[in-house]
Chains A and B, each alone.
Chain A
Amino acid sequence: MQPNGAAGRRRYVHKAGVTVDEERRQVFDEFARARMPELLRFGHALTGSPHAAADLVQDALERTMLSWARVENQGDPEGYVRRIMVNRNISIWRRLRRETLVLEMPEDAGRRGAGAFEPVVRDLALWDRIRALPPRQRTVIVLRYYEDLSEAQIAALMGSSVGTVKSQASRALASLRRDAAQFAESDSAVADGGAA
């Protein structure tokens, strides 16, 4: 989870000819501009799709904008946005992505092994399996291994108990390990020149 950072709480500076309303909007705009790249990255990790990430971030920032005075006053606007993203990702888009995630991976199709930046093949496969996890399990994995949050922090963020987070993480890791083992077998067979 990102701290407030530079986009955190700030005081209004009255400028000649600028109303408080406009200043508030400008502060929101500055916050959104500054944090949008990282929010999109976070959204991409959560959703597994750059397109869904854009939708998710827009949805969250729209909601944040409507409550901006309160959000800014509370002092952690980025945390607010991320909480919305986490929970909206699980609810609104859950069913849609369940149906499409495994079938459509266009951003990977032409990039597999294409450059030095790309991870090895088995990790592309692991990434694909992360994307195919059910939303709650995927969210727990993203928050744990991408955001480096503790289980207690994840529980607070998702509005669930630590026990639930542990069970979700356990199921997700078991599923990923099982898949990883299968891919390892497949890789081994290919390396040996055998047919799967």
Chain B
Amino acid sequence: MSQQPPDEEFERRLRDVFRSRGLGVPVPPDALDRIHSGARRRQQRRTATSVTAAFLVVAITGIGVGIRNIEHHGGDDQIAAGSHTPVSSPLPSPVNTASVGVTFPGVASSAATLPTPPSSALATPTFSPAAPTHYPSPGSAVPADFIPSSVTAVNAKTFWVLGTQQCGQQSCTAVVRTTDGGAHFTEIAAPHAATISIDNSTRVVYNLRFADNDNGWAYGEALWTTSDGGTTWSDTSLPAGAVKDLAAAREPGATTGTVWATVQPTPYTSGYQLWRAPYSSGGGTGTWQRVDLGSDPPAEEISALVVQGGTAYLLATDAKKLTHLYVSTASGTTVQDPPCIPFDTELSGGIGSLWTTCSSGSAGDGPRAAVSTDGGATWKNVAPLPAITAGIIGGIDPTAAVIDEGSGLRRITTSGQSHLVSTPQQTNGYTFIGFTDATTGYAIGQPDPARLWRTTDGGLTWKIVRF
């Protein structure tokens, strides 16, 4: 019978094992390229995490008529949205599935010098893809190879999905819609824009938002709008720059709503901007106006946008890289402190609530979730989270939320419950989690290829959406 090694000797052996092991790993020759392209995809996915709380408001309010131009709100910039390039042919746009380029996330370099040009100076998009070999017919059934990348819903039954599908040797941008909770889908028109960048002249869209049955926006490096439910799309080219995030909502009883957009005028730079425009059924999207976020401190980089009713909530860093919660309404913008020292902080909206996750690195207090029911004025800590770095969170209501835990989804409640929920398959993370109401929600998981999941029991169980 042998004796246990003494502590000191055993600890020395442990150190020796690490020192003696050949732990070196060859650096892949294309490592940097892979990091660049991966970061770009990640940024595109990150923008998809904007919250669906807007759906809640939209879903329960009536359809308004006529655009009521909002008052100018502090900013100096005002650009008329009107010089569109309407697209009546609902043909998917071909894209190359191979992600190329080491361009930094968000904006193609060719669009890098357009802080706030006059509308007349905005060029027609230079996207000129190679001819596809196949165009699916609009209104037809969705091909089995449709891969979802963004989802947007206006109620529990009606939602749209932006994605890609094969057309010959290429992939085409496609949009599908269901009005029966996903039992049946039909393909509708898609913006003539790629969802994956081909080169620096490509202005991609990677997110889709609908505010009601008529008004929708596909955004990314370009901004396309529809006012007829996706039958036709227009490239507005406004606001100038890359639209990093977009959300729309209207207050109960209002005839018009407001669509908000965070804009990065030039790639990989600070100086993000907040813009907004009115919209209404039958009237489309009105004039985009820049919102003054104030200068105490000025917002340099906006990382999250949540819109609830007539209020936009932004997580943004100032020039000192300190993160603040900016709360913007028609009457102005106030600045509040977030619930913790942020480290890849996420923000999400649920019914009557804001949810956030603060990841590790925040002064050693560990990752956790917090909820606010008073518009971010005060926050309540929820259960500590497993060690995560940047868990996407989808707020449900003031009592519950679902967070990304890598291979699974965790549902947490303010009563202290925290457990992994039943999901149809393992993933390598999620690009979107959002809820339309207290029971219906969506998650886009990242197995290969991506899958859209849907829950109808408040996030307890999830099923794959079949197209």
Residues of A within 8 A of B (CB): 19-21, 24-25, 29, 32-33, 36-37, 40-41, 43-45, 50, 53-54, 58-59, 61-63, 65-67, 69-70, 73-74, 80, 83-84, 86-88, 90-96, 117-119, 123, 126-127, 130, 136, 141-142, 145-146, 155-160, 173, 176-178, 180-181, 184-185, 188
- Given known contacts A66-B43, A159-B365, A160-B387, is B406 in contact with A94 (CB within 8 Å)? yes
Report yes or no: B5 in contact with A70, Cβ–Cβ below 8 A.
no
Contact partners of B360 in chain A: CB under 8 A: 83, 87, 157-159
Contact indicator B366/A160 (Cβ below 8 Å): yes
Which of B24, B35, B36, B43 has the most C-beta atoms of chain A within 10 angstroms of its own C-beta?
B35
- Across the interface, do A95 and B426 meet the contact criterion of CB distance under 8 Å? yes
CA distance A123 to B18 in the complex (A): 10
What would 8 A/B residue contacts be, using CB atoms closer than 8 Å?
Answer: A37-B25, A54-B25, A63-B390, A69-B270, A92-B429, A157-B360, A180-B13, A185-B2
Given the interface contacts A67-B344, A145-B15, does A180 sit within 8 Å of B317 by beta carbon?
no
Is A88 in contact with B35, judged by CB distance below 8 angstroms?
no
- Does B441 count as interface, using CB distance less than 8 angstroms? no
Q: Does B184 contact A (CB under 8 A)?
A: no
Question: Which of B1, B10, B321, B359 lies in contact with A177, CB distance below 8 A?
Answer: B10
Residue among B25, B31, B361, B429 making CB contact with A44, cutoff 8 Å:
B25
Chain B interface, number of residues (Cβ within 8 angstroms): 63
Give the distance in Å from the alpha carbon of A101 to the alpha carbon of B23 in the complex: 16
Determine the distance from Cα of A50 to Cα of B24 in the docked complex, in whole angstroms. Answer: 8
With beta carbons under 8 angstroms apart, the residue of A24, A32, A92 that contacts B35 is A32
CB of A126 within 8 A of CB of B268, answer no
Q: Contact at A184–B2, with CB atoms within 8 Å?
A: yes
- B310 to chain A minimum Cβ distance, whole angstroms, is 30
How many angstroms from the CA of A93 to the CA of B323 in the assembled complex? 29
Measured between beta carbons, the chain A residues less than 8 angstroms from B405 are: 91
A35 to chain B, nearest CB (A): 10
Q: Is B301 an interface residue (CB 8 A)?
A: yes
Please pick, from B20, B268, B367, B390, the residue contacting A117 in the complex, using a CB distance under 8 A.
B20
Inter-chain CA distance A55–B367, complex, in Å, is 23
Interface centre among A36, A43, A142 (most CB of B within 10 A): A36
Known: A37-B24, A45-B23, A61-B35. A146 touches B269 (CB 8 A): no
**Pairwise interchain contact A126-B32, C-beta atoms closer than 8 A:** no
Pairs A-B, 6 closest by C-beta atoms: A159-B360, A92-B406, A159-B366, A40-B25, A146-B18, A65-B39
Q: B112 on the interface (CB 8 Å rule)?
A: yes
Kindly state the separation between the CA atoms of A158 and B386 in the bound complex, as whole angstroms.
Answer: 10
Q: Is the CB of A58 within 8 A of B27?
A: no
- Are B387's CB and A91's CB within 8 A? yes
A181 to B13, CA, bound (A): 13
Chain B proximity of A133: nearest CB distance (Å) = 12
Which residues of the partner chain A approach B16 to less than 8 Å between Cβ atoms? 119, 123
Q: Which chain A residue lies CB-closest to B405?
A: A91
Cβ contacts B15-44/A at 8 Å (1 or 0 each): 111101111110110011011101100110
Whether A44 lies near B42 (C-beta < 8 A) is no
Nearest chain B residue, comparing its CB with the CB of A69: B270
Cα A74 to Cα B389 with chains together (Å):
17
Which residues of chain B from 260 to 291 have any CB-CB distance to chain A below 8 Å in the complex?
Answer: 266-270
